[in-house]
Homo-oligomer: A and B are copies of this chain.
Amino acid sequence: MAIDLTNDPSIQSWVNVPDQSNFPIQNLPYGIFSTATKSKRAGIAIGDQILDLVEVASLGHFNGIIDEAVTLFSNEILNPFISLGKDVHKKVRSTVFELLKEGNTALEGKNVLVDQNEASLHLPIQIGDYTDFYSSEEHAVNVGTMFRGKDNALTPNWKHLPVGYHGRSSSIVVSGTPIKRPHGQKMPPGAEAPVFGKSTRMDIELEMGFVVGKSTELGETVPVDKAEDYIFGLMLFNDWSARDIQKWEYVPLGPFLGKNFGSTVSPWIVTLDALEPFRTKGPEQSPTPLPYLQHDVPATFDIQLEVHLKTESGNEGKIATSNFKYLYWNMAQQLAHQTVNGCNLNVGDLCASGTISGPTKDSYGSMLELSWNGQEPIQVGNETRSFLEDNDTITLKGFCDNGELRIGFGEAVGKILK
Protein backbone atom coordinates (compact mmCIF):
# COMPACT_ATOMS: atom_id res chain seq x y z
CA MET A 1 0.00 0.00 0.00
CA ALA A 2 1.23 3.47 -0.85
CA ILE A 3 2.23 5.83 1.94
CA ASP A 4 -0.63 8.16 2.83
CA LEU A 5 0.53 11.69 2.03
CA THR A 6 -2.84 13.35 2.53
CA ASN A 7 -1.69 14.94 5.80
CA ASP A 8 1.68 16.10 4.44
CA PRO A 9 1.76 19.86 5.03
CA SER A 10 4.28 20.46 2.23
CA ILE A 11 1.87 19.50 -0.52
CA GLN A 12 -0.04 22.27 -2.25
CA SER A 13 -3.12 22.32 -4.45
CA TRP A 14 -3.42 23.86 -7.89
CA VAL A 15 -6.57 25.48 -6.52
CA ASN A 16 -5.65 28.73 -4.83
CA VAL A 17 -5.81 28.34 -1.06
CA PRO A 18 -5.52 31.76 0.62
CA ASP A 19 -3.34 32.21 3.68
CA GLN A 20 -5.23 31.25 6.85
CA SER A 21 -7.83 29.35 4.82
CA ASN A 22 -9.75 26.65 6.65
CA PHE A 23 -9.64 24.38 3.66
CA PRO A 24 -6.20 23.38 2.38
CA ILE A 25 -5.78 20.20 0.35
CA GLN A 26 -5.07 18.30 3.60
CA ASN A 27 -8.59 19.02 4.90
CA LEU A 28 -11.15 18.03 2.22
CA PRO A 29 -14.32 18.30 4.33
CA TYR A 30 -17.67 17.18 2.95
CA GLY A 31 -20.81 19.27 2.59
CA ILE A 32 -24.01 19.68 0.60
CA PHE A 33 -24.31 22.75 -1.62
CA SER A 34 -26.45 24.21 -4.38
CA THR A 35 -26.14 27.16 -6.74
CA ALA A 36 -28.49 29.08 -9.01
CA THR A 37 -27.95 26.39 -11.63
CA LYS A 38 -26.98 23.32 -9.63
CA SER A 39 -29.38 21.33 -7.47
CA LYS A 40 -28.32 20.17 -4.02
CA ARG A 41 -25.37 17.81 -4.15
CA ALA A 42 -22.21 16.74 -2.36
CA GLY A 43 -19.08 18.84 -2.47
CA ILE A 44 -15.69 19.19 -0.85
CA ALA A 45 -14.34 22.56 0.30
CA ILE A 46 -10.95 23.56 -1.12
CA GLY A 47 -9.67 27.12 -0.53
CA ASP A 48 -12.57 29.45 -1.44
CA GLN A 49 -13.97 26.92 -3.83
CA ILE A 50 -16.16 23.83 -3.67
CA LEU A 51 -15.26 20.74 -5.63
CA ASP A 52 -18.48 19.45 -7.18
CA LEU A 53 -18.39 15.72 -6.52
CA VAL A 54 -21.15 15.03 -9.03
CA GLU A 55 -19.02 16.55 -11.79
CA VAL A 56 -15.92 14.70 -10.63
CA ALA A 57 -17.93 11.47 -10.54
CA SER A 58 -19.30 12.08 -14.02
CA LEU A 59 -15.72 12.20 -15.28
CA GLY A 60 -15.26 8.67 -13.96
CA HIS A 61 -12.74 9.44 -11.25
CA PHE A 62 -14.54 7.32 -8.65
CA ASN A 63 -14.85 4.29 -10.92
CA GLY A 64 -13.79 1.20 -9.04
CA ILE A 65 -14.41 2.92 -5.71
CA ILE A 66 -18.12 3.73 -5.82
CA ASP A 67 -20.83 2.27 -8.03
CA GLU A 68 -23.21 4.85 -9.43
CA ALA A 69 -21.13 7.67 -7.98
CA VAL A 70 -23.04 10.37 -9.88
CA THR A 71 -26.30 9.22 -8.32
CA LEU A 72 -24.71 8.86 -4.90
CA PHE A 73 -23.28 12.37 -4.82
CA SER A 74 -26.50 13.82 -6.27
CA ASN A 75 -28.28 12.97 -3.01
CA GLU A 76 -29.39 15.93 -0.92
CA ILE A 77 -27.72 14.40 2.13
CA LEU A 78 -24.39 12.69 2.74
CA ASN A 79 -25.86 9.70 4.60
CA PRO A 80 -25.71 7.31 1.62
CA PHE A 81 -22.05 8.20 1.03
CA ILE A 82 -21.20 7.95 4.71
CA SER A 83 -22.86 4.51 4.84
CA LEU A 84 -20.28 3.17 2.38
CA GLY A 85 -17.74 3.03 5.19
CA LYS A 86 -14.24 4.13 6.08
CA ASP A 87 -12.45 2.25 3.31
CA VAL A 88 -14.43 4.10 0.67
CA HIS A 89 -14.00 7.41 2.51
CA LYS A 90 -10.24 6.93 2.54
CA LYS A 91 -10.14 6.07 -1.16
CA VAL A 92 -12.25 9.09 -2.06
CA ARG A 93 -10.00 11.25 0.12
CA SER A 94 -6.83 10.04 -1.57
CA THR A 95 -8.40 10.26 -5.03
CA VAL A 96 -9.53 13.85 -4.49
CA PHE A 97 -6.20 14.73 -2.89
CA GLU A 98 -4.41 13.41 -5.98
CA LEU A 99 -6.75 15.24 -8.35
CA LEU A 100 -6.31 18.55 -6.53
CA LYS A 101 -2.56 18.24 -6.04
CA GLU A 102 -0.33 20.78 -7.70
CA GLY A 103 0.73 19.45 -11.06
CA ASN A 104 -2.27 17.20 -11.61
CA THR A 105 -4.06 18.34 -14.75
CA ALA A 106 -6.84 15.75 -14.89
CA LEU A 107 -9.47 18.33 -13.93
CA GLU A 108 -8.00 21.11 -16.07
CA GLY A 109 -10.64 22.89 -18.11
CA LYS A 110 -13.38 20.84 -16.46
CA ASN A 111 -16.28 22.58 -14.80
CA VAL A 112 -15.72 21.06 -11.36
CA LEU A 113 -15.25 24.08 -9.09
CA VAL A 114 -17.86 26.43 -7.65
CA ASP A 115 -17.03 29.65 -5.85
CA GLN A 116 -18.14 29.35 -2.22
CA ASN A 117 -19.60 32.85 -2.47
CA GLU A 118 -21.97 31.65 -5.18
CA ALA A 119 -23.14 28.56 -3.34
CA SER A 120 -25.73 27.93 -0.67
CA LEU A 121 -24.68 25.43 1.94
CA HIS A 122 -27.23 23.06 3.42
CA LEU A 123 -27.56 20.75 6.38
CA PRO A 124 -25.32 17.96 5.09
CA ILE A 125 -26.85 15.00 6.89
CA GLN A 126 -30.22 13.65 7.83
CA ILE A 127 -29.88 13.38 11.58
CA GLY A 128 -31.66 10.41 13.12
CA ASP A 129 -30.97 10.75 16.80
CA TYR A 130 -29.08 13.56 18.42
CA THR A 131 -27.33 13.12 21.75
CA ASP A 132 -25.90 15.98 23.75
CA PHE A 133 -23.17 15.09 26.20
CA TYR A 134 -21.95 17.21 29.08
CA SER A 135 -18.29 16.34 28.94
CA SER A 136 -16.45 19.50 29.95
CA GLU A 137 -15.47 19.40 33.59
CA GLU A 138 -14.95 23.15 33.70
CA HIS A 139 -18.43 23.77 32.30
CA ALA A 140 -20.09 21.28 34.64
CA VAL A 141 -18.26 22.74 37.63
CA ASN A 142 -19.12 26.31 36.65
CA VAL A 143 -22.80 25.61 36.16
CA GLY A 144 -22.96 23.35 39.20
CA THR A 145 -21.29 26.00 41.36
CA MET A 146 -23.77 28.65 40.26
CA PHE A 147 -26.84 26.51 40.89
CA ARG A 148 -25.89 24.06 43.63
CA GLY A 149 -22.89 25.68 45.29
CA LYS A 150 -19.21 24.80 45.10
CA ASP A 151 -19.41 21.69 47.26
CA ASN A 152 -22.08 20.02 45.12
CA ALA A 153 -20.93 21.37 41.79
CA LEU A 154 -20.34 18.00 40.13
CA THR A 155 -23.06 15.41 40.53
CA PRO A 156 -21.77 12.09 42.00
CA ASN A 157 -21.97 10.32 38.62
CA TRP A 158 -20.07 12.93 36.62
CA LYS A 159 -16.54 11.51 36.91
CA HIS A 160 -17.76 7.95 36.39
CA LEU A 161 -19.62 8.29 33.11
CA PRO A 162 -20.04 10.79 30.29
CA VAL A 163 -23.39 12.30 31.28
CA GLY A 164 -25.59 12.79 28.24
CA TYR A 165 -29.21 13.11 27.15
CA HIS A 166 -31.21 12.99 23.97
CA GLY A 167 -32.00 16.26 22.21
CA ARG A 168 -34.16 17.33 19.31
CA SER A 169 -33.03 16.43 15.79
CA SER A 170 -35.70 18.29 13.85
CA SER A 171 -34.53 21.73 14.91
CA ILE A 172 -30.84 21.32 14.04
CA VAL A 173 -30.15 23.85 11.29
CA VAL A 174 -27.19 24.81 9.17
CA SER A 175 -25.06 27.87 9.76
CA GLY A 176 -26.74 31.08 8.66
CA THR A 177 -30.26 30.07 9.65
CA PRO A 178 -31.72 32.71 11.98
CA ILE A 179 -33.01 31.59 15.37
CA LYS A 180 -36.23 33.05 16.72
CA ARG A 181 -36.14 33.98 20.38
CA PRO A 182 -38.44 31.41 21.99
CA HIS A 183 -41.45 31.98 24.20
CA GLY A 184 -42.07 29.77 27.14
CA GLN A 185 -42.84 29.35 30.80
CA LYS A 186 -40.48 30.89 33.29
CA MET A 187 -40.55 31.18 37.05
CA PRO A 188 -39.21 34.62 37.92
CA PRO A 189 -37.20 34.82 41.16
CA GLY A 190 -39.58 35.27 44.07
CA ALA A 191 -42.72 34.78 41.99
CA GLU A 192 -45.49 32.49 43.21
CA ALA A 193 -46.54 31.22 39.82
CA PRO A 194 -44.84 30.86 36.46
CA VAL A 195 -45.30 33.46 33.73
CA PHE A 196 -45.36 33.11 29.98
CA GLY A 197 -43.22 35.23 27.73
CA LYS A 198 -40.12 35.60 25.65
CA SER A 199 -36.92 34.17 27.00
CA THR A 200 -34.80 36.97 28.42
CA ARG A 201 -31.82 34.73 29.13
CA MET A 202 -30.87 33.60 25.65
CA ASP A 203 -27.55 31.84 25.57
CA ILE A 204 -25.17 29.89 23.39
CA GLU A 205 -23.24 26.72 24.02
CA LEU A 206 -19.91 26.31 22.25
CA GLU A 207 -19.83 22.65 21.31
CA MET A 208 -18.60 20.27 18.67
CA GLY A 209 -20.58 17.34 17.32
CA PHE A 210 -19.46 14.11 15.74
CA VAL A 211 -21.38 12.38 12.98
CA VAL A 212 -21.92 8.64 13.34
CA GLY A 213 -20.45 6.88 10.33
CA LYS A 214 -21.49 3.27 10.90
CA SER A 215 -24.73 1.75 12.09
CA THR A 216 -25.15 -0.90 14.76
CA GLU A 217 -27.91 -3.35 15.55
CA LEU A 218 -30.09 -3.08 18.62
CA GLY A 219 -28.32 -5.01 21.37
CA GLU A 220 -24.84 -4.47 19.89
CA THR A 221 -22.13 -2.64 21.82
CA VAL A 222 -19.15 -0.72 20.49
CA PRO A 223 -15.93 -1.24 22.48
CA VAL A 224 -14.13 1.95 23.36
CA ASP A 225 -11.04 1.02 21.34
CA LYS A 226 -13.15 0.50 18.21
CA ALA A 227 -15.34 3.54 18.69
CA GLU A 228 -13.53 5.79 16.22
CA ASP A 229 -14.44 3.35 13.45
CA TYR A 230 -17.99 4.56 14.01
CA ILE A 231 -17.19 8.27 13.70
CA PHE A 232 -17.25 9.91 10.27
CA GLY A 233 -16.25 13.44 11.21
CA LEU A 234 -16.86 16.56 13.24
CA MET A 235 -18.76 19.83 12.98
CA LEU A 236 -19.07 22.96 15.08
CA PHE A 237 -22.26 22.95 17.11
CA ASN A 238 -24.07 25.80 18.85
CA ASP A 239 -26.62 24.48 21.31
CA TRP A 240 -28.73 27.63 21.75
CA SER A 241 -30.24 27.66 25.21
CA ALA A 242 -33.00 29.66 26.87
CA ARG A 243 -31.77 29.58 30.45
CA ASP A 244 -34.97 30.87 32.06
CA ILE A 245 -37.13 28.28 30.32
CA GLN A 246 -34.57 25.55 30.99
CA LYS A 247 -34.28 26.33 34.68
CA TRP A 248 -38.01 26.02 35.32
CA GLU A 249 -38.61 22.90 33.25
CA TYR A 250 -35.56 20.69 33.64
CA VAL A 251 -36.23 18.91 36.94
CA PRO A 252 -36.64 15.93 36.98
CA LEU A 253 -36.32 14.79 33.35
CA GLY A 254 -33.80 17.18 31.82
CA PRO A 255 -33.77 20.03 29.30
CA PHE A 256 -36.58 20.20 26.74
CA LEU A 257 -38.05 23.49 25.45
CA GLY A 258 -35.07 25.43 26.78
CA LYS A 259 -33.02 23.74 24.05
CA ASN A 260 -35.13 22.32 21.25
CA PHE A 261 -36.05 25.58 19.47
CA GLY A 262 -32.82 25.37 17.47
CA SER A 263 -29.22 24.21 17.27
CA THR A 264 -26.75 25.39 14.63
CA VAL A 265 -24.10 23.29 12.90
CA SER A 266 -21.31 24.36 10.60
CA PRO A 267 -21.84 23.18 7.01
CA TRP A 268 -18.65 21.15 6.51
CA ILE A 269 -17.90 17.81 8.10
CA VAL A 270 -14.19 17.45 8.80
CA THR A 271 -13.14 13.80 8.82
CA LEU A 272 -11.02 12.13 11.48
CA ASP A 273 -8.46 11.46 8.73
CA ALA A 274 -7.94 15.19 8.27
CA LEU A 275 -7.65 15.73 12.03
CA GLU A 276 -5.06 12.99 12.54
CA PRO A 277 -2.03 15.36 12.78
CA PHE A 278 -3.71 17.09 15.70
CA ARG A 279 -4.49 14.02 17.78
CA THR A 280 -3.59 14.51 21.43
CA LYS A 281 -4.33 13.22 24.90
CA GLY A 282 -7.14 14.64 26.95
CA PRO A 283 -7.06 15.43 30.67
CA GLU A 284 -6.02 12.77 33.16
CA GLN A 285 -9.07 10.93 34.42
CA SER A 286 -9.30 10.28 38.12
CA PRO A 287 -10.85 8.11 39.41
CA THR A 288 -10.01 5.57 36.72
CA PRO A 289 -13.19 4.88 34.78
CA LEU A 290 -14.80 1.46 34.68
CA PRO A 291 -13.10 -0.90 32.16
CA TYR A 292 -15.60 -0.28 29.33
CA LEU A 293 -14.58 3.39 29.38
CA GLN A 294 -10.82 2.91 29.83
CA HIS A 295 -9.08 4.46 26.85
CA ASP A 296 -5.79 5.85 27.93
CA VAL A 297 -4.52 6.72 24.46
CA PRO A 298 -4.46 10.00 22.56
CA ALA A 299 -8.16 10.11 21.68
CA THR A 300 -8.93 13.76 21.32
CA PHE A 301 -7.81 16.56 19.02
CA ASP A 302 -6.22 19.95 19.48
CA ILE A 303 -8.94 22.12 17.95
CA GLN A 304 -8.92 25.82 18.78
CA LEU A 305 -12.37 27.26 19.23
CA GLU A 306 -13.66 30.82 19.24
CA VAL A 307 -16.95 32.53 19.92
CA HIS A 308 -17.58 35.87 18.26
CA LEU A 309 -20.50 38.17 19.02
CA LYS A 310 -21.71 40.99 16.79
CA THR A 311 -24.44 43.32 17.97
CA GLU A 312 -27.10 45.02 15.89
CA SER A 313 -25.29 48.34 16.17
CA GLY A 314 -22.13 46.81 14.80
CA ASN A 315 -20.06 46.22 17.92
CA GLU A 316 -18.21 42.98 17.74
CA GLY A 317 -15.73 40.97 19.67
CA LYS A 318 -14.28 37.57 20.35
CA ILE A 319 -15.97 36.68 23.62
CA ALA A 320 -14.41 33.27 24.22
CA THR A 321 -11.44 31.14 23.20
CA SER A 322 -11.49 27.47 24.06
CA ASN A 323 -10.18 24.13 22.83
CA PHE A 324 -11.77 20.77 22.07
CA LYS A 325 -8.95 19.02 23.94
CA TYR A 326 -10.15 20.41 27.26
CA LEU A 327 -13.03 17.92 27.29
CA TYR A 328 -12.75 15.41 30.12
CA TRP A 329 -14.55 12.62 28.25
CA ASN A 330 -13.44 11.88 24.69
CA MET A 331 -15.59 10.85 21.73
CA ALA A 332 -14.60 7.19 21.94
CA GLN A 333 -15.74 7.08 25.55
CA GLN A 334 -18.96 8.89 24.71
CA LEU A 335 -19.75 6.43 21.96
CA ALA A 336 -18.81 3.35 23.99
CA HIS A 337 -21.03 4.62 26.79
CA GLN A 338 -23.90 5.42 24.43
CA THR A 339 -23.94 1.83 23.15
CA VAL A 340 -22.98 -0.14 26.26
CA ASN A 341 -26.64 -0.92 26.93
CA GLY A 342 -27.23 -2.06 23.35
CA CYS A 343 -28.68 1.23 22.09
CA ASN A 344 -28.36 1.13 18.31
CA LEU A 345 -26.68 3.77 16.14
CA ASN A 346 -27.65 4.94 12.68
CA VAL A 347 -25.42 6.64 10.16
CA GLY A 348 -26.06 10.37 10.48
CA ASP A 349 -26.74 10.36 14.20
CA LEU A 350 -25.12 13.35 15.83
CA CYS A 351 -23.38 13.37 19.21
CA ALA A 352 -22.50 16.77 20.57
CA SER A 353 -19.87 17.31 23.23
CA GLY A 354 -21.62 19.65 25.59
CA THR A 355 -20.33 23.14 26.22
CA ILE A 356 -16.57 23.24 25.88
CA SER A 357 -15.22 25.49 28.61
CA GLY A 358 -11.56 25.88 29.47
CA PRO A 359 -9.80 26.69 32.72
CA THR A 360 -9.84 30.49 32.46
CA LYS A 361 -12.68 32.97 32.45
CA ASP A 362 -12.07 33.93 28.81
CA SER A 363 -12.37 30.28 27.78
CA TYR A 364 -15.91 29.65 28.98
CA GLY A 365 -18.25 28.37 26.29
CA SER A 366 -21.53 30.00 27.35
CA MET A 367 -22.77 33.47 28.25
CA LEU A 368 -24.07 31.99 31.50
CA GLU A 369 -20.49 31.30 32.52
CA LEU A 370 -18.87 34.29 30.81
CA SER A 371 -21.20 36.70 32.64
CA TRP A 372 -21.31 34.44 35.72
CA ASN A 373 -25.08 34.14 35.71
CA GLY A 374 -25.47 37.79 34.71
CA GLN A 375 -23.50 39.14 37.66
CA GLU A 376 -20.47 40.16 35.58
CA PRO A 377 -21.65 41.35 32.16
CA ILE A 378 -19.03 41.10 29.43
CA GLN A 379 -17.92 43.95 27.20
CA VAL A 380 -18.58 43.90 23.44
CA GLY A 381 -17.21 47.11 21.96
CA ASN A 382 -19.02 49.84 23.88
CA GLU A 383 -21.90 47.58 24.86
CA THR A 384 -22.27 44.98 27.57
CA ARG A 385 -23.96 41.62 27.48
CA SER A 386 -25.10 39.15 30.11
CA PHE A 387 -27.23 37.19 27.67
CA LEU A 388 -28.07 37.68 23.99
CA GLU A 389 -30.11 40.62 22.77
CA ASP A 390 -32.31 40.66 19.66
CA ASN A 391 -30.32 40.75 16.42
CA ASP A 392 -27.10 39.68 18.08
CA THR A 393 -25.15 37.38 15.79
CA ILE A 394 -23.00 34.58 17.17
CA THR A 395 -20.26 32.99 15.13
CA LEU A 396 -18.43 29.87 16.29
CA LYS A 397 -15.09 29.20 14.66
CA GLY A 398 -12.82 26.20 14.92
CA PHE A 399 -9.44 25.28 13.51
CA CYS A 400 -6.37 23.20 14.13
CA ASP A 401 -3.06 24.95 13.56
CA ASN A 402 0.42 23.63 14.27
CA GLY A 403 2.30 26.28 12.37
CA GLU A 404 2.75 24.07 9.33
CA LEU A 405 -0.84 23.15 8.69
CA ARG A 406 -4.21 24.70 9.39
CA ILE A 407 -7.29 22.47 9.23
CA GLY A 408 -10.44 24.52 9.77
CA PHE A 409 -14.11 23.87 10.32
CA GLY A 410 -15.42 27.15 8.95
CA GLU A 411 -18.15 28.81 10.93
CA ALA A 412 -21.44 28.16 12.64
CA VAL A 413 -23.36 31.44 12.46
CA GLY A 414 -26.74 32.32 13.90
CA LYS A 415 -28.61 35.54 14.51
CA ILE A 416 -31.23 35.88 17.22
CA LEU A 417 -34.47 37.31 15.85
CA LYS A 418 -37.00 38.85 18.20
Give chain A's interface residues, CB within 8 Å of chain B: 128-129, 131-132, 134, 155-157, 160-161, 163-171, 173, 177, 180, 182-185, 187, 193-196, 218-219, 221, 242, 245, 248-257, 260-262, 287, 290-292, 337-338, 340-346, 349
Chain B residue contacts of A287, Cβ below 8 A: 193
Q: How far is the CB of A306 from chain B (nearest CB, A)?
A: 26
A288 closest partner in B (C-beta): B193
Chain B residue contacts of A180, Cβ below 8 A: 218-219, 342
Could you tell me if A250 and B249 are in contact, using CB atoms closer than 8 angstroms?
Answer: no
Query: Known: A165-B254, A166-B165, A170-B128. Contact between A291 and B343, CB under 8 A?
Result: no
Which of the listed residues A168, A173, A287 has the most CB atoms from chain B within 10 Å of its own CB?
A: A168
Q: How far is the CB of A172 from chain B (nearest CB, A)?
A: 10
Which of the listed residues A155, A253, A254, A340 has the most CB atoms from chain B within 10 Å of its own CB?
A: A253
Q: How far is the CB of A335 from chain B (nearest CB, A)?
A: 13
Determine the distance from Cα of A128 to Cα of B166 in the docked complex, in whole angstroms.
13
Could you tell me if A257 and B337 are in contact, using CB atoms closer than 8 angstroms?
Answer: yes
Q: How far is the CB of A188 from chain B (nearest CB, A)?
A: 13
A143 closest partner in B (C-beta): B252
Chain B residue contacts of A260, Cβ below 8 A: 166, 341, 343
Could you tell me if B183 and A341 are in contact, using CB atoms closer than 8 angstroms?
Answer: yes
Can you offer 22 A-B residue contacts whose CB atoms are under 8 A?
A: A128-B169, A128-B170, A156-B187, A157-B185, A157-B248, A157-B249, A160-B185, A161-B185, A161-B249, A165-B254, A165-B255, A171-B344, A177-B218, A180-B218, A183-B221, A185-B290, A196-B292, A250-B253, A252-B254, A257-B338, A257-B343, A261-B341
Chain B residue contacts of A249, Cβ below 8 A: 157, 161, 163
Q: How far is the CB of A285 from chain B (nearest CB, A)?
A: 14
Could you tell me if B343 and A184 are in contact, using CB atoms closer than 8 angstroms?
Answer: no
Query: Known: A129-B169, A252-B250. Contact between A196 and B342, CB under 8 A?
Result: no
A163 closest partner in B (C-beta): B253
Q: How far is the CB of A225 from chain B (nearest CB, A)?
A: 16
Determine the distance from Cα of A275 to Cα of B284 in the docked complex, in whole angstroms.
58
Could you tell me if B257 and A157 are in contact, using CB atoms closer than 8 angstroms?
Answer: no
The 3 closest A-B pairs by CB, nearest first: A254-B254, A182-B341, A165-B253
Q: How far is the CB of A206 from chain B (nearest CB, A)?
A: 18
Chain B residue contacts of A252, Cβ below 8 A: 155, 163, 250, 254
Q: How far is the CB of A96 from chain B (nearest CB, A)?
A: 31
Q: How far is the CB of A203 from chain B (nearest CB, A)?
A: 14
Determine the distance from Cα of A187 to Cα of B161 in the docked complex, in whole angstroms.
12
Could you tell me if A170 and B340 are in contact, using CB atoms closer than 8 angstroms?
Answer: no
Determine the distance from Cα of A267 to Cα of B219 in the docked complex, in whole angstroms.
21
A144 closest partner in B (C-beta): B252
Determine the distance from Cα of A338 to Cα of B187 in the docked complex, in whole angstroms.
18
Determine the distance from Cα of A249 to Cα of B343 in the docked complex, in whole angstroms.
15
Could you tell me if B257 and A255 are in contact, using CB atoms closer than 8 angstroms?
Answer: no
Chain B residue contacts of A291, Cβ below 8 A: 196
Determine the distance from Cα of A80 to Cα of B245 in the docked complex, in whole angstroms.
34
Chain B residue contacts of A257, Cβ below 8 A: 337-338, 340-341, 343
Determine the distance from Cα of A260 to Cα of B340 in the docked complex, in whole angstroms.
11
- Interchain CB contact (< 8 A) of A253 among B129, B173, B255: B255
- Interchain CB contact (< 8 A) of A342 among B128, B166, B182, B193: B182
Determine the distance from Cα of A306 to Cα of B164 in the docked complex, in whole angstroms.
33
Q: How far is the CB of A326 from chain B (nearest CB, A)?
A: 19
Could you tell me if B342 and A168 are in contact, using CB atoms closer than 8 angstroms?
Answer: no
